[in-house]
Amino acid sequence: MTFFVKKGTIIMYNYVLKRIFMKKNLLDERLFACAEFVRNQSVLADIGTDHAYLPVSLILDGKIDFALACDINAKPLEKAKETALKYGVEKQVSFRLCDGLNDIKEDEFSDLAVAGMGGEMIAKILDNCPYIKNEKYNLILQPMSKANILRKYLCENGFEILQEKAVISNRKIYSVINARFSGEVRESDLLFEYLGALQNKSDENAIAYKKKIKKSLVKKAKGILSADSENEQAKLILETAEKIEIQGEEK
Ligand SMILES: C[S@@+](CC[C@H](N)C(=O)[O-])C[C@H]1O[C@@H](n2cnc3c(N)ncnc32)[C@H](O)[C@@H]1O
């Protein structure tokens, strides 16, 4: 009996270790933060899945049981299939070759991840899918660039940013946005567009994000003002940069 219990415990221990190891290997900080925003036992549609690391890791972790791995290109989708096969979760993934959410039906998923693309592209994918304007969907959006354009789009199209996390991956800083449709359309302002929900955060990464944005806005504004000292847009950008409070730094 003791032998069986011990053997069972060792098998279970190895199984848990294997899963933790796999998960750690599959996700970088960026995708790890995306995974944290996915709801327990949801069905995830991962748009632009590439290797399908996010859905496969979430399935291995037991957080979700099923996912749609979607990509516009055939090669990444092949890689997605390879990953799922390698980890033995291929029956829990539906592979879709499609542009954005074009061929995905509205009742096929509850959580949506669009990660690793430019902010403009993410906004375009959302805009091309009218049914996504529904509070039932949990959106996890991770722009690699132009996060300001994505935040502006969200704000002006009735999406609310619920949470945002700054992460450092490959020595670069990114934001991971968790949003939901609320129907409340608001006029966005530059400070919101550049910092979103990171405005009031004071963790190390959020501070690094704010510093980076502040520096780039000052540079941009001063560049324009050096050629055109009366440029109103540049003045507004500079004003916005000055409003960015960096915790722990004197004003
Ligand atoms: C850089 S990879 C990101 C992979 C993964 N999501 C991540 O964050 O690490 C971008 C992927 O998005 C796919 N992609 C680009 N535009 C797309 C679109 N409109 N619809 C679906 N997939 C798209 C590309 O083929 C590529 O595989």
| pLDDT recorded at residue 4 | 56
CATH class, 2-197 region: alpha beta
The whole-number average pLDDT for the span 44-63 is 97
| pLDDT recorded at residue 105 | 98
Single-letter amino acid code for the residue at 237: I
Percent of all residues in the chain with a pLDDT value above 90, rounded to a whole number: 85
- 119 C-beta closer than 6 A to ligand 1: no
Name the band, by pLDDT with cuts 50, 70 and 90, for residue 21.
low
| pLDDT recorded at residue 124 | 98
Please say if the pLDDT value at position 178 is more than 90.
yes
Q: Which of 72, 132, 170, 172 to mutate to test the pocket of ligand 1 (most atoms within 8 A of CB)?
A: 72
Going by C-beta distance under 8 Å and a sequence separation of 6 or more, which residues neighbour residue 140? Answer: 34, 37, 38, 111, 112, 113, 114, 115, 176, 177, 178
Tell me the CA–centroid distance for residue 180 and ligand 1, in Å: 21
| pLDDT recorded at residue 188 | 87
Please say if the pLDDT value at position 225 is more than 90.
yes
Closest ligand 1 atom to Cα of 116: 8
The whole-number average pLDDT for the span 176-192 is 95
| Burial status of residue 90 (CB atoms within 10 A of its CB: 0-12, 13-18, 19 or more) | middle
